[in-house]
Structure 1
Amino acid sequence: MTMTATSSRYRGSLAGRVTLLTTLAVAGSIALIAVGLYFVVRIQLQANMDESLLTRATSAAANTASIQDARTGASFPTWVLNAGDIQVAEVYDSHNYWSPTLGTFPRPGVPEEAVAKREAKQSVRTVSTSVGVFRVVAVPIPDSDSALMLAQSLGPQQEMYKRLGFVVLFFGAAGVVAAAFAGWVVAAGGLRPVRRLTASVDRIATTEDLTPLPVEGDDEIARLATSFNRMLTAVSASRDRQRQLVADASHELRTPLTSLRTNVELLTQADASISGEQRADLLGDIRAQIEELTNLIGDLVELARDEPAEPTLETIDLSDVVDRALSRVRLRAPSVTFTEEMSPWWVMGDASSLERAVTNLLDNAAKWSPASGTVHISLNAGVLNVDDEGPGIADADIPYVFDRFYRSTEARSMPGSGLGLAIVRQVAERTGGSVSAARSPYGGARMTLRLPGSASPRPTEPPAAVLNDEGLKH
């Protein structure tokens, strides 16, 4: 129990988990987009710079004209002017080069020497110096054994990268915070029906008020509330049946207990004036009342079970069950004649429960049959009909004869608790069948028990293998 509570506290609330998952999902998406955007922009800017440098270098190197300084008489090529805002140099090899800005110009290397010697068409690389980082390109100068080398500082571009990274980081963090807030708002609003449902369930657990909950909408929460209402209806019906069973049982038990107590008191207060015959009659009454009370308690226990205790399911011939029940009922009703017309019908069920149900049907028919009357029993294709020649069942009573403790006006003066036919219905439903009551063509009542099954028993073992034409088993 401790581990479960700790785990529950660690997991936190559902709203918190939804908010956290939403925040993590959005944060991951923003981080992925930001990193991708940063590198795409950086690569694109670098590519644009390289293309611009190469274009300028190629254009400047193609112009072979020169300009002469009037003061000194020195001349220099016009590409010095065409290079614009970048530093330029004419490279002969990795050690010999000329540049107007020798002090700050990055030294040429092997890639630039390869271009000057026409071993490479061009070169593009990044060079770090004491004065900064430069992007350097080199292209060959036509009609010359040298290469034009252009260098542009990456300082401004790196500053732009920093500003871009800060902007992406700032707006990414703002997006994560906004996502967390939005996730919390959505979770709080979306889970409000869950909290209402939880509060209603707590109220039902505290007050035991099984009134169905109001259902709004048609979403998952509404379907959950609908399912919960169905459960409440089932629990309420079960509680009502339990209360009715207790009330009816107390009513039915009161009469035999009162009679039994009266007879016992008579015996304890008896004196010599009570003859042996009277004492025997009292003991006979007590014995009959104890038997009636025992049967009533057994019926109550049987009906109180929602499912039979440890049922033994087996393949049973219903005609054999009827024969066993009939032999018992014949002993209890010797004045009644029983006729039977049955064919085998195999069902899957509990033998003792089925025998009790059939016995109750036969007892009911024998009880209502007149002296020297006949009970007609037929079993065909899973339909068991039990007909008596009694007064029959009134049309108003037919829908209720299988209810617990129901006894018609005519039956209240006869022995019984009103539980026998209720047990028949319960056993029939457990076995997958049904039971019904109607008027009999013989003038009395007809009780019909229908059970699913087959005219032949199911095989208890797989069929033995047989040989085909090729002598192989299949």
Structure 2
Amino acid sequence: MSKAGRRLGFRPALGTVHRIIQPMTARASLALRVALLTTAAVAVTLAAVSALVFVTVRAEFESSLDESMLRRANAAVNADYTPSTEELDVAGIKIFIVRGGQIFSRRGDDATLPLNNHEIEVSIGQTKSSRRTTTIDGEPYRVVAVQAGEGSALVLAQPMESIQRALERLKVILLLASAAGVVVAGGAGWVVATNGLRPVRRLTAAAERVARTSELHPIKVTGHDELARLTTSFNQMLLALGASQERQRQLVADAGHELRTPLTSLRTNIELLGQAAENPERQLTAAQTTEIMDDVRIQLQELTTLVGDLVELARDEPMARDPEALDLADTVASALDRVRPRAPGLTFDVAAESWTVIGEPPLLERAVTNLLDNAAKWSPDDGTVTVRLDDGVLTVIDEGPGISEDDLPHVFDRFYRSSEARTLPGSGLGLSIVRRAAERHGGTVTAESPAGGGSVFTMTVPRSH
């Protein structure tokens, strides 16, 4: 804001308006707040414009009157002319002479004009003329002075009654026009705010409906402005929320299905052991007891693995893991140490170059282990699993039967198991964890099945800089 604006008081006026409007709008609707703020802004603008118009018109009136009086005073001095009494009475003009620091009436009346330094300066020749407004007998007068010879000045005083009447009429007109403008601005602001905020009300109603009913129905998008973009973003959020809920429901359904098998087997085995303990006629042999206990241990191991995989996939962030620098080649070596004892008949052909990344060592090691376990599970007993790590690209190749074209797009889906895999141990979550680990580290994982047989899994992890 300019210095002139600060001198005119615009900033205090706006601050006063803000202090008045804020308590009124604290609990009002958004449309009402917009309408009130618009009305207040228009009111302040109209007040400033009205004040400027009033001051300008008054200055023009005074300037026009001054020029007329100065012309008459100069003409009278040049012609040494003194208007008659009748003329003075008609025009209402009072004539005075300033001489020697004193003021005299040209009509012989008592001098009633308050003497001012301006007239004295004109009389002694410091200035050629002067003009001012003063009060004579309780009435406003406009006073001008011109030099009227050495040491004297001619002073004319004309009443400003006509100007005051014109200014009063102008003041009334400006007040009425400003009031009408404020009323019109308030109505227009309310109409614009009500219509402009209709999409916001629809969004509010939609959000309340979602909170109340959990229904994720998109709302209609109209227009191409910012509110339309907000509506589109809201619809996208609803779609993402719906997809998340669907994934959660699918996860619960799939988890329940996968958990049913080991739990049923465990219950059956425990019931057999309980019946044998309660009924002496159903005593189990040592071999049968050992077989049942081995089966229980296997089912417990599968159940433990399944629960761990579910927990890993269900949470969005690691519980208590901090990323750290690690060599992916060391991670591959640790994973191989875990997988080799579980696949004693396989040969692992390994070539791993050093590759430093910033990540979660347990998650990366589990992902690599899952890839190696998957390759070991599908390879023949005397087969070879080829492992290569080059420029952050980990490739695991097995010698199994390969992946069918129908199964290939779904191998990384949770709980997905091909018809051939259902006869083998596993939960269908291992490769899902591999994809999650790769994506969390900014990488990717892909699966291929060459025509000659076998499967090729490729996981990339970008280098940390």
TM over 0.5, shorter chain: yes
**Pairwise mapping of residues 46-445 of structure 1 onto structure 2 (< 5 A)?**
46-64=62-80, 85-89=91-95, 91=97, 93=99, 94=102, 96-99=104-107, 102=109, 106-107=112-113, 109=115, 121-130=128-137, 132-141=139-148, 148-270=154-276, 271=280, 273-440=283-450, 443-445=453-455
1:328-353 residue CA offsets vs partner (Å, 9 max, x unmatched) = 11111112222212222222211111
For residues 357 and 443 of structure 2, the distance between their equivalents in structure 1, rounded to whole angstroms, comes to 10
Name the TM-score, length of structure 2 as normaliser. 0.86
For residues 432 and 192 of structure 1, the distance between their equivalents in structure 2, rounded to whole angstroms, comes to 42
1:360-384 residue CA offsets vs partner (Å, 9 max, x unmatched) = 1111111111122221212222122
Secondary structure of the equivalent of 1:269?
A: helix
For residues 127 and 198 of structure 1, the distance between their equivalents in structure 2, rounded to whole angstroms, comes to 64
For residues 415 and 358 of structure 1, the distance between their equivalents in structure 2, rounded to whole angstroms, comes to 18
For residues 228 and 295 of structure 1, the distance between their equivalents in structure 2, rounded to whole angstroms, comes to 39
1:213-237 residue CA offsets vs partner (Å, 9 max, x unmatched) = 2211111111111111221121111
1:78-105 residue CA offsets vs partner (Å, 9 max, x unmatched) = 66677662435463743644317x37x7
- 1:29 paired with 2:45, answer yes
Query: Structure 1 345/119 Cα, relative in aligned 2: closer, same or farther at 3 Å?
Result: closer
Task: Read off the aligned partner of 2:448 and give its amino acid letter.
Answer: A
For residues 337 and 456 of structure 2, the distance between their equivalents in structure 1, rounded to whole angstroms, comes to 20
1:213-265 residue CA offsets vs partner (Å, 9 max, x unmatched) = 22111111111111112211211111111111111111111111111111111
For residues 207 and 288 of structure 1, the distance between their equivalents in structure 2, rounded to whole angstroms, comes to 44
Structure with the higher fraction of residues in helix conformation: 2
Task: Read off the aligned partner of 2:229 and give its amino acid letter.
Answer: R
Task: Read off the aligned partner of 1:391 and give its amino acid letter.
Answer: P
- The residue aligned with 2:17 is none
Query: Structure 1 160/391 Cα, relative in aligned 2: closer, same or farther at 3 Å?
Result: same
Secondary structure of the equivalent of 2:216?
A: coil
Query: Structure 1 87/453 Cα, relative in aligned 2: closer, same or farther at 3 Å?
Result: closer
Q: Is the 8 A contact 1:388 1:440 kept in 2?
A: no
For residues 90 and 426 of structure 1, the distance between their equivalents in structure 2, rounded to whole angstroms, comes to 103
- The residue aligned with 1:14 is 30
Name the TM-score, length of structure 1 as normaliser. 0.84
Query: Structure 1 376/86 Cα, relative in aligned 2: closer, same or farther at 3 Å?
Result: same
| Structure 1 unaligned blocks of 5 or more | 1-6, 66-76, 459-474
For residues 400 and 451 of structure 1, the distance between their equivalents in structure 2, rounded to whole angstroms, comes to 22
Matched length:
436
Equivalent residue in structure 2 for 1:43, among 45, 54, 59:
59
- The residue aligned with 2:6 is none
By how many angstroms is 1:131 displaced?
Answer: 6.0
Task: Read off the aligned partner of 2:182 and give its amino acid letter.
Answer: V
For residues 92 and 357 of structure 1, the distance between their equivalents in structure 2, rounded to whole angstroms, comes to 109
Query: Structure 1 364/314 Cα, relative in aligned 2: closer, same or farther at 3 Å?
Result: same
Secondary structure of the equivalent of 2:269?
A: helix
Secondary structure of the equivalent of 2:26?
A: helix
Query: Structure 1 125/347 Cα, relative in aligned 2: closer, same or farther at 3 Å?
Result: closer
For residues 140 and 43 of structure 2, the distance between their equivalents in structure 1, rounded to whole angstroms, comes to 34
Query: Structure 1 42/442 Cα, relative in aligned 2: closer, same or farther at 3 Å?
Result: same
Task: Read off the aligned partner of 1:156 and give its amino acid letter.
Answer: S
For residues 137 and 244 of structure 2, the distance between their equivalents in structure 1, rounded to whole angstroms, comes to 91
- The residue aligned with 1:71 is none
Q: Is the 8 A contact 1:91 1:116 kept in 2?
A: no
Query: Structure 1 130/420 Cα, relative in aligned 2: closer, same or farther at 3 Å?
Result: same
1:87-129 residue CA offsets vs partner (Å, 9 max, x unmatched) = 35463743644317x37x7447466577667676444343423
Of the two, which has the highest radius of gyration? 1
